[in-house]
Structure formats: structure tokens, C-alpha cells
Amino acid sequence: MAGYHFIIADDHPLFRDALRHALTAAYDGVQVKEAGSLDEVTALLEADDAVDLLLLDLKMPGVQGLAGLAYLRAQFPDVPTVVVSATEDLPVIRRAVALGASGFIPKSTPVSAIREAVREVLAGGVWLPPDIDAAGAADDETDAVARRLATLTPQQVRVLMMLREGLLNKQIAYALGVSEATVKAHVSAVLQKLGVESRTQAVIAVGRIDEERGQSDPVN
């Protein structure tokens, strides 16, 4: 097959090179573009409406873990997105799928399996590591937050990400080019959809979706 457009979003050039090689060796005439931050990947997606697949690392500038995935899925719902991460933690994988990821590839995955994953997703399927059953996993409150996060609009997710950065309403309004009243409306909608009562609770709840089982550090 030829003519696929891929975007590799990862802030480690060596890993991008390895992934690029895996893709170009598997497909003739493939176009691979690279991004090292959320702003860069957003710009690439806005400039190319023919992207067939986004391969997204969860830990790079601006992404903020699964919140970045939620933003990109809301902003570009027609672009299949596969998370490529250092984690193999089931709850994180389950939440990524709940947020609309078409696959989850641990960075320890062999090249042959990466190519298999890409073929599966391009065919319209969902690829997960062997022996992983995200759909059949036990539910918990944090998984519920991930599902609620998936209901936010792109602008609402963006506002939430700025809240996580500690920005005030007037700073968010300036950055987005909207009024403070609009920001307040977005914040109210975010709180309602997430089922929390304050900005602080929203930030804490969303921060927990990146936590691995038994750990407090965000995923890579």
C-alpha cells in the first residue's frame, strides 16, 4: 500500500527516527511528518487534512498526558490516534481507549508488532498489547473521569489544560482570544461535565487519569 500520511509526535528525535524507519520500510511512498510538542502536532494536523494516522507520545511539551489525547481527539476526531508510551499499565491503557485512542503501543514493542499495530488501525481496528482486554477491565472512578473528559469540546479541554498550568481566567482569555465571561462559561461547563465542584477538584481529578497503578508519577 502506498500514499499514507503519518505524523509521529514525540520529543525524542532518536525514537522518532526509529519509528519513521519502521513505517517507511513497511509502506511505499509513505509521508511521515514529525512533531515534538502539542503546538507542533496541532499545526501539522491543521495543515494536512489527509493524515491517516497520528502516533502520539503522552509526555512531551504541552501534551499533559491523557488530557492532550483528549484535546486532539476532540479537535481532530477523524484522525486515528495511537498512543506510543513507555508505560504498560493497564489502567492507563484502558483510559486511553476510553478517550478514543485507536491503539496503545508500549515503547518496548518489537518493530514487527508495531507494524502489525499500524496495519490493524489503518484497517479500522483497535490494537492493544497481547493479553490486554481494556473493554473487560474493572471500572473505577478514575476511569469514569476519563470517559467524562472525552465529552468535553476542544475549547473546554484547552481551558482545562490551562487550568492545570495554573493560569487565571484573564490569562486564559488572553491566550485564547476570548472574553473572560466566555472563559467562565467554559470553566462552568468543564466542572459540570467532570462532576466536580471546583477548579482544584477538576485539576486533581484529571491529573489522576495519568497515574499508573500504585504510582503517583505521570506516564511517559
Which whole-number Å values give the CA distances from 37 to 55, 113, 176, 218, in the listed order? 13, 26, 18, 17
Name the residue type at position 56.
L
pLDDT at 1: 45
CB 58 within 8 A of CB 81: no
pLDDT confidence of residue 217: 46
Each residue's pLDDT tens digit, 149-193: 999 999 999 999 999 999 999 999 999 999 999 999 999 999 999
User: Residue 139: which pLDDT band, with cuts at 50, 70 and 90?
Assistant: low
Whether 203 shows a pLDDT value over 60: the answer reads: yes
Span of 130-139, 142-151, 185-194, 195-204 with lowest mean pLDDT: 130-139
pLDDT above 90 (res 213): no
Per-residue cell: 184? 467562565
Query: Rounded to an integer, what distance in angstroms lies between the CA atom of residue 87 and that of residue 85?
Result: 5
List pLDDT tens digits, range 41-90: 999 999 998 999 999 999 898 888 999 999 999 999 999 999 999 888 88
DSSP 31: E
- Under DSSP, the state recorded for 132 is -
Where in the sequence of the chain do the CATH 1.10.10.10 domains occur? 141-208
Q: pLDDT at position 55, please?
A: 97
Between the CA atoms of 88, 193, 207 and 143, what dihedral angle is there, to the nearest 10 degrees?
-30
**Nearest to residue 51, comparing CAs of 32, 38, 70, 69?**
32
Angstrom distance (rounded) from CA 219 to CA 217: 7
Strands 5-9 and 81-85: unpaired
Let me know: does 189 contact 156? Beta carbons within 8 Å: yes
215 pLDDT more than 60: no
Q: What value, to the nearest 5°, has the Cα angle with vertex 95 and ends 84 and 9?
A: 25
Q: Region 135-149: what's the mean pLDDT?
A: 75
Domain 5-122, CATH class in plain words? alpha beta
Q: Give the architecture-level CATH label for domain 141-208.
A: Orthogonal Bundle (1.10)
Residue 43 contacts residue 137 (beta carbons within 8 Å): no
pLDDT tens digit string along 101-119? 999 999 999 999 999 999 9
Ranges of CATH 3.40.50.2300 domains, the chain: 5-122
Q: What is the pLDDT of residue 216?
A: 43
Name 7's Cβ contacts closer than 8 Å, sequence gap at least 6: 32, 33, 34, 35, 41, 44, 45, 51, 53, 54, 55
Mean pLDDT confidence for 15-30: 91
Q: Is 208 helix (H, G, I), strand (E, B) or coil?
A: helix
pLDDT at residue 47 in the model: 95
Please determine, for residue 23, whether its predicted confidence score (pLDDT) is greater than 90: yes
